[in-house]
A and B are shown apart, each in its own frame.
Chain A
Amino acid sequence: MVLTVLGPLAGRSFAITAKPNLLLLQPTNLPLLRLSLPLSLPHFSSSSSSCRLRSSIVFAAQESNLSVSNENETSEWLMQDFYTLRKDVEIASARVEEIRASAGLEQLEQEIANLESKATDTSFWDDRTKAQETLSALNDLKDRMRLLSEFKTMVEDAETIVKLTEEMDSTDVSLLEEAMGIIKELNKSLDRFELTQLLSGPYDKEGAVVYITAGAGGTDAQDWADMLLRMYMRWGEKQRYKTKVVEMSNGEEAGIKSATLEIEGRYAYGYISGEKGTHRIVRQSPFNSKGLRQTSFSGVEVMPLLPEEAVGIEIPEEDLDISFTRAGGKGGQNVNKVETAVRITHIPTGVAVRCTEERSQLANKTRALIRLKAKLLVIAEEQRATEIKEIRGDAVKAEWGQQIRNYVFHPYKLVKDVRTGHETSDITSVMDGDLDPFIKAYLKHKYTLAMASAHNLEFQLISFNVRLTGVQTLIHVVNMSKDPATFIQGAMPDIIGNTKEEFFASKLEMSTRIAQAQALRLIPLSVQVKLNLSLLEDINDDLEFCFKVAKESIIILPVELELLIDGFSRLKNFAVRDTPRSSHGN
């Protein structure tokens, strides 16, 4: 989460630092100050058991150079920590409940029982392949079951600590720390669990082949391709995948013209498939003595790493254009060049692959064909074509060139994904393989698109409002669809809390409402959090809470977040708004 307030706002003083790309408007002229808020994803930003927020961004205020007072007593902090922890535990508890509910525990148990009885059947091993499949399915289910009960145990442990602390007069720091640790761990597990739910594509479980090509632009682009290769290798290492550069063609001066990276490991393809597309860099050219600003492109293609036998499609010979690198001249006995590269083009779609890393021509051809098939399978999947021949070639061509992410090194630092709007200024970490936030944002984005199209909803019209007005909370759900049959509109009753305690308690209720809304397949695309600060006692705490609520409600996607804070009037009126994303534009 990016918006932070440093320290308790004693004396209503604010420290402000703004990201360079934030648009700051003079608050004096406007009742609402709108800040572009890069919204980190709900569950993936670390559950902030640290309420002393670590990021550097604070919102704007008129007296922009006011300093932060930070002279609180330890016990106050401890209490603060405790409140935060209690909130975290509550949120985690709701999350666990929700996940367990949506996982269909009973059904899961039933399925496990079914498979187990199958496995004990005497004829079970007659068909070895099928037996293996059943066993692996059984293991998957049992893993799920185990995880789900683990979640429950963990959250119960944390809850116990919270209760204990509440009953005790003094605060046991080590206990609190333990609970914080549990919650942190739990949130990570929950993140992972939810992600696997997002990875349900037919090839998502497979390894991945990443093919990087430098775009036009000579050495700069080749260097950029090399940087991307390193980024993906680092990412792979961080995920403990086995990465292997199987082919690399060096640039003349620096960098690479192309490289093929194989990533082995479960779900590697599922995670990284969204990296497919054109990656753009803006920086001062290190290869130019004048250090001019330079824009370069590199293309990234991702295919599942499929075992030969798994690619069970036949492509008619006449649809393939197979070309070999010519040794040149008269060929045959006249020449000995160990150049055995093979390039195969699927004529109807124009999809092409090249394979150079093998040492014999036949081996290159075989491998190229496997890659081509994998690529076509993925495209077919994307286009929902049941057969290769149904693939629309024009669509393929348009798609492969798409620019998906910008990496700006100069004049400011920013990595921004064009599809999801996810961004960060920590470009160093990204280049060092910290791609998870981007990958996760994309997966959610993809999931939402799929959901929207599956339910024939015009997703950009759906809105889901969470409004916090002082101690009142209102969840308002609007779902508009072009199809009258699926038109749903409804408002949920307000959740009202009159005291601060109730205010916090209402959060649980809200989570439930959100879950209900989701059960109705309402996909929140815009979340509005309205907060009357004048009614709040501890602005720091409540602001933080509002954001949490807002984030909580955006379980599926980094949706548009609008935070409207009234009642700041005597201080500042401001609002934080996620920048509109292009995907909403159509």
Chain B
Amino acid sequence: MIRIFPSLRFTSLLSAAKPLCSYSPAREPPASFTEAKSSPETNSLSITPKTPLFLRTPSHATSLSEVWKWHDWAKDLASSVEESSKNSEDVLDSVILLRELKWLIEDSIVDDPLVILHRSEISDNGEKNVKLRASLEELYDLWRQRIEKRRPFQYVVGCEHWRDLVLCVEEGVLIPRPETELIVDMVEELVTRDEWFKKGFWADLGTGSGAIAIGIAKVLGSRGRVIATDLSPVAITVAGHNVQRYGLEGMIEVREGSWFEPLKDLEGKLVGIVSNPPYIPSDDIPGLQAEVGKHEPKLALDGGIDGTDSLLHLCHGASRMLQRGGFFIFETNGEKQSKMIVDYMMSNDLKDCFSDLKIVSDFAGINRFVTGFRL
């Protein structure tokens, strides 16, 4: 049984553009099924990636006292969140918010952020000007979005620190998670053990911001080649931009299209496949943390009824695209899902395709990854 929903991911993107606030428990089919007809071309207008805060020109001279005022306001807002949302389980944590505020300051100020954070320690009455990368007005707005709209911090500052990378991210691209850092660790371990994997083509499917592709390219060394694919034009733009920022254009090729579609020329030739596909069961989507559910692209999250639609498609793809001895890692929703994928790969027509199937847990002990080799 092969289930392929090539258009599923794309249409989810469209629906992500609408705010998703329906908490209706009704078991409707995902919006994507009904909208699956639209074609990718309509959306591939030329997109320019947004410049993250920390890369902008510091053209806003502002007096320190005004910045302090903003900082006080932002701190108060951050500290007051817990009382205001007592009834809900999905609450902001003011300790984390204060840390985010510190990072927001780091990203927006050219001077030492300490002039803001440790005001009491400096003997300045605030008349001095500091250079900001955003107007104070925008900073007020950004922090309000963070708290009132629950806009993810990484979208607010336009970047995510991931491993040793700083990746540009924006709406329409999944923010890479710390768990996913482990995929790069595992690849690194493999290629240090076996040089063979350094020479061939790797594929990162549904690359999003390009995080895994860039992480892998760096551990592969100069001879490595990674093809990063994504259906979303925004992701393609952002991933391309990130690859460029790390000067890895020579090693990473970003191709637009669904899963293996843009890789037809490499059938049976890949030495490795990695992917963090959408794996959240559709029914779980409405209950997600607001930052995720309301802001991140459902195309990158929604894995169909039991969350395995894309994963199963990837299993079949892996059997076709990997060369003998080739390696794969898929990230999953954990626990049951990992088990299901392993079981699936050991049965039916995929039986005898793979060896050494393993479930690897993440740092929180959740069975997060499925790995294995092509026989």
Contacts and interface: CB of A to CB of B under 8 A. Distances in A.
25 contacts: A244-B114, A245-B118, A322-B363, A324-B364, A327-B364, A330-B366, A331-B177, A332-B177, A332-B368, A333-B177, A333-B276, A333-B278, A334-B284, A334-B288, A334-B292, A336-B154, A336-B175, A336-B289, A336-B296, A337-B93, A338-B154, A339-B96, A358-B161, A361-B163, A362-B162
A333 B364 contact: no
Given A331-B362, A331-B368, A332-B334, A324 B178 contact: yes
B163 A360 contact: yes
B286 to A, nearest CB: 12
Interface in B124-139: none
B289 A334 contact: yes
A173 B12 CA distance: 90
A362 B301 CA distance: 24
B280 A333 contact: yes
A360 B161 CA distance: 5
B32 interface: no
B164 A362 contact: yes
A465 B162 CA distance: 65
B103 interface: yes
Contacts of A339: 96
Contacts of B165: 360
Contacts of B318: none
B78 to A, nearest CB: 10
B154 to A, nearest CB: 7
A335 B366 CA distance: 13
A249 interface: yes
A295 B152 CA distance: 42
Contacts of B333: 330, 332-334
Given A331-B179, A331-B364, A338 B164 contact: no
Given A359-B161, A360-B164, A335 B95 contact: no
Interface in B270-314: 276, 278-280, 284, 288-289, 291-292, 296, 300-301
A355 to B, nearest CB: 13
Nearest to A244: B114
Interface residues of A, number: 31
B162 A338 contact: no
| Nearest 8 interchain pairs by C-beta | A359-B161, A360-B161, A324-B363, A361-B178, A362-B163, A326-B364, A336-B291, A336-B292
A210 to B, nearest CB: 15
B331 interface: yes
A340 interface: yes
B177 A336 contact: yes
B174 interface: yes
B181 A362 contact: yes
Interface residues of B, number: 47
A370 B121 CA distance: 29
A363 interface: yes
B143 interface: no
Contacts of A337: 93, 96, 289
Contacts of A366: 164
Contacts of A233: 118, 121
Contacts of A153: none
B21 to A, nearest CB: 17
Contacts of A250: 95, 98
Contacts of B288: 334
Given A334-B280, A359-B161, A340 B178 contact: yes
B219 interface: no
Contacts of B179: 331-332
Contacts of B199: none
Contacts of B16: none
Interface string A227-250: 000100100010000001100011
B179 to A, nearest CB: 5
A429 interface: no
B35 interface: no
Given A332-B179, A334-B280, A337-B96, A359 B174 contact: no
B245 interface: no
A331 B366 contact: yes
A323 interface: yes
B201 interface: no
Given A245-B114, A245-B117, A338-B99, A332 B366 contact: yes
Contacts of B118: 233, 245
A331 B301 CA distance: 13
A359 B103 contact: yes
B92 to A, nearest CB: 10
A360 B121 CA distance: 28
B249 interface: no
